[in-house]
Amino acid sequence: MRLTDIMSHMALSVWAEIAMVIFQIVFVLVVARVLFAPRAMVERIASLPLEDDGDFSLFEEVE
Amino acid sequence: MGFEFKGSQSASQLESFSYDDAIVRKFFWATLIWGIVAFLVGVILAVQLAFPQANIIPQVAFGRLRPLHTNAAIFAFAGNAIFTAVYYSTQRLCKARMWSDTLSKLHFWGWQLIIVSAAITLPLGITQSKEYAELEWPIDIAIAVVWVGFFGTNFMMTLVKRRERHMYVALWFYIASLVAVTILHVFNNLWVPVGLVQFLQTGEFGSAETIMKSYPLYAGVQDAFMQWWYGHNAVAFFLTTPFLGLMYYFLPKAANRPVFSYKLSIIHFWSLVFIYIWAGPHHLHYTALPQWASTLGMVFSLMLWMPSWGGMINGLLTLRGAWHKVATDPVLKFFVVGITFYGMSTFEGPLLSVKTVNALSHYTDWTIAHVHSGTLGWNSFMTFGMLYWLAPRLFQTGKLHSEKLASLHFWTGTIGILLYVISIYTAGITQGLMWRAFDESGQLMYPEFIETVTRLIPFYWIRAVGGTLFLLSACLGGYNLVMTWKARPKKYEVPVHEAPALSKEYDDGPPAVSRLTSNAGIGHAGDRFLQGHWHRRWERLPVRFTVWVVIAVGVASLFEIIPTFLIRSNETTISTVLPYTPLEVAGRDIYIAEGCYNCHSQMIRPIYSETQRYGEYTKPGETVYDRPFQWGSRRIGPDLAREGVTNPNSAWHYQHFENPQVFTEGSIMPSYKHLLKGELDFGAIQPRIRALAMVGTPYGEAVKSAEPMARSQAKRIADDIRTQMPGVELPEDLENRKVIALIAYIQRLGTDIQATPEQIELRKSEGAGQ
Residue A61 has φ and ψ, to the nearest 5°, of -80, 115
What is the structure's pLDDT at B388?
97
Residue B737's DSSP bridge partners are B679
Nearest to A32 among B249, B256, B530 (CB): B530
* Nearest alpha-carbon partner for B221 in B623, B588, B577, B696: B623
Same domain, B610 and B462: no
CB B697 within 8 A of CB B590: no
What does the alpha-carbon distance between residue B711 and residue B147 come to, in Å, rounded to a whole number?
44
Q: Could you tell me whether strands B497-500 and B191-193 are parallel, antiparallel, or unpaired per DSSP bridges?
A: unpaired
Nearest to B563 among A7, A50, A60 (CB): A7
SS3 A62: coil
Nearest to A45 among B4, B168, B494 (CB): B168
Judge: A42–B263 Cβ closer than 8 Å, yes or no. yes
What does the alpha-carbon distance between residue B300 and residue B280 come to, in Å, rounded to a whole number?
9
Residues of chain A by 3-state class (helix, strand, coil), percent to 5: 65, 5, 30
pTM (2 decimals)? 0.90
What does the alpha-carbon distance between residue B730 and residue B716 come to, in Å, rounded to a whole number?
15
Residue B737 has φ and ψ, to the nearest 5°, of -85, 150
In a domain, B593, yes or no: yes
Residue B520 has φ and ψ, to the nearest 5°, of -70, 120
What is the structure's pLDDT at B10?
46
Query: Which residue type is seen at B562?
Result: I
Beta-carbon contacts of B411 under 8 Å, excluding residues fewer than 6 positions away, are none
Same domain, B593 and B721: yes
SS3 A60: strand
Beta-carbon contacts of B126 under 8 Å, excluding residues fewer than 6 positions away, are B136, B209, B212, B213, B593
Mean pLDDT by 10 residues, chain B (770 residues): 40 84 98 98 97 92 96 97 98 95 98 98 95 95 97 96 90 94 93 90 84 93 90 91 96 93 90 85 83 84 91 94 91 97 95 94 96 97 98 95 96 97 97 96 95 96 98 98 97 92 69 71 73 65 79 76 65 84 97 97 96 94 93 96 95 96 94 96 94 92 94 96 93 96 97 93 88
Task: Give me the DSSP letters along B563-624.
Answer: HHHH-GGGG---TT--PPPHHHHHHHHHHHHTTGGGT------S-HHHHHHH-SPPPGGGGT
Judge: A22–B555 Cβ closer than 8 Å, yes or no. yes
What does the alpha-carbon distance between residue B251 and residue B317 come to, in Å, rounded to a whole number?
11
Model confidence pLDDT, tens digit, residues B1-14 = 333 334 444 445 88
DSSP state of B150: I
Domain residues for the domain of B408 are: 21-486
Q: Please state, as a whole number, how many other Cβ atoms lie within 10 Å of the Cβ of residue B190.
A: 14
What does the alpha-carbon distance between residue B346 and residue B312 come to, in Å, rounded to a whole number?
9
What is the structure's pLDDT at B678?
95
Residue of B nearest to A14 (CA): B292
pLDDT at A9 exceeding the cut of 90: no
What does the alpha-carbon distance between residue A55 and residue B658 come to, in Å, rounded to a whole number?
67
How many domains is chain B built from?
2
What does the alpha-carbon distance between residue B517 and residue B530 come to, in Å, rounded to a whole number?
16
In a domain, B518, yes or no: no
Q: Is the peptide bond before B628 cis (omega within 30 degrees of 0)?
A: yes
Judge: B295–A16 Cβ closer than 8 Å, yes or no. yes
Judge: B531–A31 Cβ closer than 8 Å, yes or no. no
SS3 B406: helix
What is the structure's pLDDT at B7?
41
- Closest chain B C-alpha to A38 CA, distance in angstroms: 9
Judge: A31–B275 Cβ closer than 8 Å, yes or no. no
What does the alpha-carbon distance between residue B259 and residue A46 come to, in Å, rounded to a whole number?
6
Residue of B nearest to A45 (CA): B168
Same domain, B464 and B607: no
What is the structure's pLDDT at A60?
35
Boundary residue ending a domain (B434, B459, B486):
B486
Q: A-chain residues within 8 Å CB-CB of B489?
A: none
SS3 B96: coil
Q: Where are the domains of chain A?
A: 3-48
* Nearest alpha-carbon partner for B527 in A38, A15, A36: A36
Judge: B292–A19 Cβ closer than 8 Å, yes or no. no
Task: Give me the DSSP letters along B488-500.
Answer: --SS-EEE-EEEE
Q: B-chain residues within 8 Å CB-CB of A44?
A: 6-7, 166
Which CATH number do you get for residue B328? 1.20.210.10
Q: A-chain residues within 8 Å CB-CB of B275?
A: 23
What does the alpha-carbon distance between residue B214 and residue B140 come to, in Å, rounded to a whole number?
11
SS3 B57: coil
What is the structure's pLDDT at B503?
73
DSSP state of B280: G
* Nearest alpha-carbon partner for B220 in B579, B576, B557, B594: B579
Residue in A26, A33, A35, A60 to test binding to B, most B beta-carbons within 10 Å? A33
Nearest to A3 among B275, B492, B566 (CB): B566
CB B622 within 8 A of CB B753: yes
In a domain, B533, yes or no: no
Beta-carbon contacts of A1 under 8 Å, excluding residues fewer than 6 positions away, are none
A-B CB pairs within 8 A amount to 145
